[in-house]
């Protein structure tokens, strides 16, 4: 048995759904678990529903209509008659969503978020399953919330592996095609829907692979595989044929759009290969993440993160920056939800490059000034090169204002003010 995962870009409209069928036919796989994300930008649209729900004068009706109309148009592109059961299913699902919004009493944003946003995957999987059936591809639709059991940490739930293993083994037939949702689970006390956090659909595919001892996992994307650099920022890029589990985790840690470490961990434990392939060219080999050589071809990998903040601290009395001082810094970074991208310290200074994604910079700086001398630079760019050579570093930093440089055996990082 194999696991296929199709993300939002691969099912963004009726033609894309039809292309999924082409992928299934070209790969000629018969025994599959297919994991699908929400269609296109549906998650963003449902986040808008949540936003309007919590606003006193929010336009909830229009936000819901946007989501409904988007899926209705896809159905019209897949089925010849609006009397098809898929249209009835769409209406039923939306009635369920509206019922939740009308009867919910909770003010817990994370809880409401999970209950609402989850409808994206439920709708997409129903549509894809119905279209498969329509054209003669037998499949079993599975509510993933019956299988993946979690704690009640809404928006970033932790998997209960023992219960999940038991449920998946019980409910998934290893023969034929099972079609289910990514990103979702349910907490085991009240069965409320939970979501699995960043890259949750990829993680779902890995969970099923682990529990079913799958042969491999394939993530279908609109790129040929994993590249050694982002083509939006670098002109010469190269397809990576093979990446080891460890190297993929290293690249993800530094910010590469490879695969999230939490997806790789269960696969690595059972040495299940993961492929990243193009749904536009399904027979191409793509990239394999698995055991074996670190990187093929052996080449430098470039990672870029923009719009960061470099904060430089020194003690007010020129005393050493010791564990107690640095401990306070990390406590405040956590409190103000700063994602740390790089750190560097000396005897009397400490520098940290952060992503201020929650716009808490001013509050953090005010707190830091109570104890430290503080300097900062906004809108800096962090370049990371894995398996670098000196020529590449020189070319990258030439004629640029390098604020900070950090180098180890395999990795060099440059904080640059563009």
**Residue 322 pLDDT exceeds 80:** no
pLDDT for res 116: 98
pLDDT for res 346: 81
Band the pLDDT of 413: cuts 50, 70, 90: very high
124 — alpha (psi -120 to 50), left (phi > 0) or beta?
alpha
Q: Check residue 139 and report its DSSP letter.
A: -
Percent of the chain topping pLDDT 90: 85
What average pLDDT does this structure show over 319-345? 86
Q: Which domains does the chain have, with CATH numbers?
A: 2-221 (3.40.1160.10), 301-417 (3.30.2130.10)
Convert the pLDDT of each residue in 161-178 to its tens digit: 999 999 999 999 999 999
**Residue 58 pLDDT exceeds 90:** no
- Strand 339-345 and strand 349-355: the pairing is antiparallel
Is omega for the bond preceding 297 within 30 degrees of 0, making it cis? yes
**Residue 417 pLDDT exceeds 80:** yes
Please enumerate in sequence order all residues whose Cβ is within 8 A of that of 31, keeping only pairs 6 or more positions apart, or say none: 1, 2, 174, 175, 176, 177
**Residue 321 pLDDT exceeds 80:** no
Band the pLDDT of 272: cuts 50, 70, 90: very high
Band the pLDDT of 325: cuts 50, 70, 90: confident
Full DSSP string of 202-235: HHHHHHHHHHHT-S-EEEEESSSS-BSS-TTT-S
Least confident of 213-217, 260-264, 351-355: 260-264
pTM to 2 decimal places: 0.90
**Residue 11 pLDDT exceeds 90:** yes
Tell me how far apart the alpha carbons of residues 273 and 215 are, in angstroms, rounded to a whole number. Answer: 8
How confident is the prediction for the chain on average, in pLDDT? 94
Tell me how far apart the alpha carbons of residues 95 and 367 are, in angstroms, rounded to a whole number. Answer: 48
- The alpha carbon torsion through 150, 152, 158, 163 (nearest 10 deg) reads -20
CB burial class (10 A; 0-12, 13-18, 19+) of residue 379? exposed
* Token pair for 14: 């009726």
Convert the pLDDT of each residue in 333-350 to its tens digit: 999 999 999 999 887 789
**Residue 314 pLDDT exceeds 80:** yes
Q: In terms of Cα–Cα distance, which of 218, 240, 221 is closest to 229?
A: 240
Q: Are 207 and 158 spatial neighbours (Cβ–Cβ below 8 Å)?
A: no
Please enumerate in sequence order all residues whose Cβ is within 8 A of that of 344, keeping only pairs 6 or more positions apart, or say none: 350, 351, 352, 404, 406
Convert the pLDDT of each residue in 175-225 to its tens digit: 999 999 999 999 989 999 999 987 899 999 999 999 999 999 999 999 999
Convert the pLDDT of each residue in 117-129 to its tens digit: 999 999 999 999 9
Selected residue with higher pLDDT from 255 and 129: 129
Letter string b/e over residues 274-290, b meaning 16 or more CB atoms within 10 A of that residue's CB: bbbbbbeebeeebbbbb
**Residue 317 pLDDT exceeds 80:** no
* Token pair for 234: 């670098």
Tell me how far apart the alpha carbons of residues 191 and 157 are, in angstroms, rounded to a whole number. Answer: 13
**Residue reference for tokens 């030439």:** 398
């Amino acid at each position: 048995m194999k696991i296929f995962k199709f993300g939002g870009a691969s099912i963004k409209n009726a033609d894309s759904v039809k292309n999924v069928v082409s992928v299934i036919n070209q790969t000629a796989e018969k025994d599959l678990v297919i994991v699908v994300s929400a269609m296109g930008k549906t998650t963003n649209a449902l986040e808008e529903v949540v936003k309007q729900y919590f606003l006193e004068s929010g336009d909830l009706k229009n936000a819901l209509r946007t989501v409904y109309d988007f899926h209705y148009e896809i159905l019209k592109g897949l089925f010849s008659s609006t009397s098809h059961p898929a249209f009835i299913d769409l209406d039923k699902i939306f009635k369920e969503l509206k019922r939740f919004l009308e009867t919910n009493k909770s003010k817990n944003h994370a809880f409401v978020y999970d209950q609402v946003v989850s409808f994206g995957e439920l709708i997409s999987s129903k549509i894809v399953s119905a279209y498969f059936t329509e054209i003669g591809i037998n499949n079993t639709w599975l509510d993933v919330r019956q299988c993946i059991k979690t704690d009640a940490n809404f928006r970033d739930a932790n998997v209960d592996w023992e219960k999940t293993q038991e449920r998946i083994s019980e409910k998934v037939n290893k023969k034929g095609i099972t079609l289910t949702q990514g990103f979702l689970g349910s907490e085991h006390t009240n069965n409320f829907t939970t979501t699995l956090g960043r890259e949750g659909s990829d993680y779902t595919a890995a969970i099923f692979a682990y529990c079913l001892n799958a042969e491999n996992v394939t993530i279908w994307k609109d790129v040929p595989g994993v590249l050694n650099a982002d083509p939006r920022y670098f002109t010469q890029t190269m397809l990576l044929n093979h990446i080891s589990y460890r190297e993929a985790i290293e690249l993800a840690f530094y910010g590469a759009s490879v695969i999230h470490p939490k997806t790789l961990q269960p696969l690595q434990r059972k040495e299940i290969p993961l492929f990243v392939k193009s749904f536009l060219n399904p027979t191409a080999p793509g990239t394999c993440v698995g055991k074996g050589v670190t990187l093929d071809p052996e080449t430098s990998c470039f990672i870029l993160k923009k719009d960061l903040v470099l904060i430089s601290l020194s003690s007010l009395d020129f005393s050493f920056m010791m564990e107690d001082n640095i401990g306070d810094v990390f406590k405040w970074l956590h409190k103000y939800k700063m994602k740390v991208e790089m750190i560097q310290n000396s005897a009397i200074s400490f520098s940290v490059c952060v992503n201020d994604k929650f716009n808490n910079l001013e509050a953090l700086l005010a707190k830091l000034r109570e104890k430290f001398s503080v300097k900062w630079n906004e809108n800096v760019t962090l370049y990371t090169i894995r398996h670098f050579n000196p020529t590449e570093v020189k070319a990258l930093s030439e004629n640029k204002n390098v604020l900070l440089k950090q180098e180890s055996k395999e990795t060099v990082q440059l904080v640059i003010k563009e």
